[in-house]
């Protein structure tokens, strides 16, 4: 997995629009998860088309496939990236928000 | 995976979440939007169109998919969800207030009346999340290629120049806040001679604007420069200055519109200037990028025929706007023009549009946006030294989208303000420009 050097969380407090604790953050998680599902479904669609064009029945091949150590490592890293992405707004990604001076509020 | 199975998966997630959050109807409505988003018909935004230069990062299929999703999400929020919000206001909130004799006649009153309403919360929460995701999805590819980008940016220049000032004090409105919710803003450096902030910004534009700024992200500069060329054919500027240029995407069109002019661009942040310079060099366009604060320029008096800026002033505190305009007046030659693309002034737009546009003031880390739009733009220029009779303003379609013939026709009647003015919309944004000749 590529190291993340660019911060993924901005400084300062997130705005809260819903009164119930955590709703905005959960919504953010769901949208990020949906983004990942979307990317994954597109990848799968493309894989099916590529293999189909070469006469390979992918469903059967997948059932027979034996994972190697390298496969395990790659899939594990991808799982970790997915978790960090989905949980980014819950502060679990290791890219925590820094403090910020909070006096830049809208001018009157 | 078909869209119905995605909906089922998400329903499962919500079944776990809803009882604890105790606001099931609200969240089901949001879920409805998410499912609708996955069911959108037609091709998604093309994430491989732009960046025709050497600083472009190469994208994997997953990069393209993630970018396409976020772009589609933003488009959905700004069309479907904003439409729902407006409908809720017009059909429910406004009539309810009218029953009790209350008139919602100011953007502030509309904001106050809507902020506890569910459609406003849903729109705002999803829009905020989508904005954060813009920078998240583009940062992956930039992160992977940082060393290569920084190396490319050190190539010797053959067309223009880059002049940085490491001792320049950066203004607090640049360093103190992550503007646009962009982590690190536009000034943060992650390595020596770093271009990261510029690369992230360049990559974010397509995702943010779902292609509305043109293939080279240059439609604003192209439109504003061609407006001058077509409206004032006898005006032939020899020197042009772009203030607050970031990555120079709206600087370079000036060199194309006026090929004999010398084009200079300034910004306070070094990473975006390094990127702007490398990008321009790789495109073979001569432009001179200099690190400088627009509120205290180091140029001589009367040095430029055009002083231009785009989407710049609304990020400045009012005092800095006033300083910048005085500096613009000083560095302009007599007979030159200050010409800027900006958000339309509040006094030209309906109350609801003003409420809608000013959302960014409160929720997108752009705290000066609303104060700027409240100003009398002509008076700002008069206070800076320009004459009232030299004031110019216009709205115009996007040149690169409509072509020269339709553009020429459109700018005959150049003061049409409508709901598309200054607002990104696939139906056809109209840009607003204003400025003044220096008599």
One pLDDT digit (tens) per residue for chain A, 108 residues: 456 788 888 888 889 999 999 999 999 999 999 999 999 989 998 988 898 899 988 877 877 889 899 998 888 888 777 777 776 765 443 343 444 444 556 665
DSSP letters for B35-47 = HHHHT--S----T
Q: Is B196 on the interface with A (CB under 8 A)?
A: yes
Is residue B333 included in any domain, yes or no? yes
The stretch B352-366 carries a mean pLDDT of 95
pLDDT at B439 over 60: yes
| CB atoms near residue B417 (< 10 Å) | 17
Domain that residue B1 falls in? 1-39
Tell me the percentage of chain B whose pLDDT exceeds 90. Answer: 77
Would strands B161-163 and B288-291 be described as parallel, antiparallel, or unpaired? parallel
Would strands B332-342 and B262-267 be described as parallel, antiparallel, or unpaired? unpaired
Listed residue (B330, B421, B431, B338) closest to B377, CA to CA: B338
State the pLDDT confidence band at B34, using cuts at 50, 70 and 90. low
Would strands B430-437 and B391-397 be described as parallel, antiparallel, or unpaired? antiparallel
**Torsions phi, psi of B390, nearest 5?**
-95, 0
Determine which of A51-55, B296-300, B340-344 has the lowest per-residue pLDDT on average: A51-55
Q: What is the rounded CA–CA span in Å between residue B138 and residue B69? A: 12
**Structural domains in chain B (count):** 2
Is residue B315 included in any domain, yes or no? yes
Q: What is the pLDDT of residues B225-278, one digit of tens each?
A: 999 999 999 999 999 999 999 999 999 999 999 999 999 999 999 999 999 999
**B53 vs B21, higher pLDDT:** B53
- B18-53: burial string, b at 16+ Cβ within 10 Å, e else: beebeeeebbeebbebbbebbeeeeebbebeebbeb
Is residue B174 included in any domain, yes or no? no
Residue A61 pLDDT: 81
Contact residues on chain A for B143, CB-CB shorter than 8 A: 2-6
The number of C-alpha atoms within 13 Å of B237 and in the hemisphere containing its C-beta is: 33
Is residue B60 included in any domain, yes or no? no
Look at the alpha carbons of B347, B351, B356, B358 in this order and tell me if their dihedral is positive or negative. Answer: positive
Alpha helices in B39-77 (DSSP H): 61-76
Is residue B153 included in any domain, yes or no? no
ipTM over the 0.90 cut-off: no
Q: What is the rounded CA–CA span in Å between residue B194 and residue A69? A: 37
CB B57 within 8 A of CB B203: yes
Global pTM exceeds 0.80? yes
Instruction: Delimit the domains of chain A by residue range.
Output: 23-89
Residue B291 pLDDT: 98
Tell me the percentage of chain B whose pLDDT exceeds 70. Answer: 87
Residue B337 β-bridge partners: B306, B437
Q: What is the pLDDT of residues B139-176, one digit of tens each?
A: 999 999 999 999 999 999 999 999 999 999 999 999 99
For B:333-372, CB contacts with A below 8 A are 361-363, 365, 367-371
Is residue B185 included in any domain, yes or no? no
pLDDT at B72 over 50: yes
Q: Is B144 on the interface with A (CB under 8 A)?
A: yes
**B283 vs A11, higher pLDDT:** B283
Least CB-CB distance to B129: which of A27, A40, A85?
A27
State the pLDDT confidence band at B30, using cuts at 50, 70 and 90. low
Residue B338 β-bridge partners: B307, B436
């Amino acid at each position: 997995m590529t190291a993340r050097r660019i911060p993924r969380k901005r400084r300062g407090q997130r705005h809260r629009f819903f009164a119930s604790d955590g709703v905005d953050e959960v919504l953010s998680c769901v949208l990020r998860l949906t983004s990942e599902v979307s990317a994954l479904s597109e990848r799968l669609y493309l894989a099916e088309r590529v293999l189909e064009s070469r006469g390979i029945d992918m469903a059967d091949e997948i059932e027979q496939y034996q994972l190697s150590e390298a496969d395990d490592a790659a899939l594990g890293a991808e799982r970790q990236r997915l978790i960090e992405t989905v949980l980014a707004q819950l502060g679990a990604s290791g890219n925590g928000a820094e403090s910020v001076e909070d006096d830049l509020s809208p001018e009157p | 995976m078909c869209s119905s199975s995605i909906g089922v998966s998400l329903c499962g997630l919500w079944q776990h979440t809803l009882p604890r959050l105790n606001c099931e109807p609200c969240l089901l409505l949001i879920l409805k939007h998410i499912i609708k988003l996955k069911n959108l018909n037609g091709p998604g935004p093309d994430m491989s169109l732009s960046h025709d230069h050497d600083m472009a990062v190469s994208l994997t299929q997953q990069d393209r998919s993630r970018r396409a999703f976020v772009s589609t999400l933003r488009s959905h929020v700004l069309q479907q969800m904003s439409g729902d919000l407006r409908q809720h206001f017009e059909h429910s909130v406004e009539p309810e207030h009218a029953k009790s004799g209350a008139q919602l006649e100011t953007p502030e009153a509309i904001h106050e009346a809507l902020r506890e309403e569910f459609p406003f919360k849903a729109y705002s929460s999803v829009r905020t999340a989508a904005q954060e995701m813009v920078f998240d999805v583009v940062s992956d590819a930039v992160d992977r290629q940082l060393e290569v980008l920084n190396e490319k940016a050190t190539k010797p220049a053959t067309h223009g120049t880059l002049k940085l000032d490491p001792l320049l004090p950066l203004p607090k409105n640049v360093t103190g806040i992550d503007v646009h919710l962009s982590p690190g803003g536009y000034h943060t450096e992650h390595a020596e001679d770093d271009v990261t902030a510029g690369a992230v910004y360049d990559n974010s534009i397509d995702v943010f604007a779902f292609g509305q700024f043109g293939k080279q992200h240059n439609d604003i500069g192209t439109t504003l420069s061609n407006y001058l060329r077509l409206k004032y054919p006898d005006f032939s500027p020899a020197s042009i200055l772009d203030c607050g240029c970031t990555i120079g995407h709206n600087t370079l069109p000036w060199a194309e519109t006026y090929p004999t002019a010398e084009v200079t661009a300034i910004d306070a942040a070094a990473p975006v200037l390094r990127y702007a310079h490398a990008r321009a060099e790789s495109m073979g366009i001569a432009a001179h990028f200099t690190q400088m604060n627009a509120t205290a320029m180091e140029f001589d008096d009367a040095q430029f025929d055009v002083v231009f800026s785009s989407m710049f002033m609304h990020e400045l505190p009012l005092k800095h706007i006033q300083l910048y305009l005085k500096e613009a007046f000083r560095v302009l030659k007599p007979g030159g023009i200050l010409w800027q693309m900006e958000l339309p002034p509040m006094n030209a737009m309906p109350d609801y549009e003003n409420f809608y546009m000013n959302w960014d003031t409160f929720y997108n880390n752009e705290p000066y946006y609303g104060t700027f739009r409240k100003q009398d733009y002509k008076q700002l220029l008069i206070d800076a030294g320009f004459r009232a009779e030299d004031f110019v303003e216009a709205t115009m379609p996007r040149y690169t989208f409509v072509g020269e013939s339709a553009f020429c026709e459109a700018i005959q009647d150049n003061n049409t303000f409508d709901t598309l003015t200054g607002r990104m919309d696939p139906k056809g944004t109209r840009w607003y420009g204003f400025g003044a000749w220096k008599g």
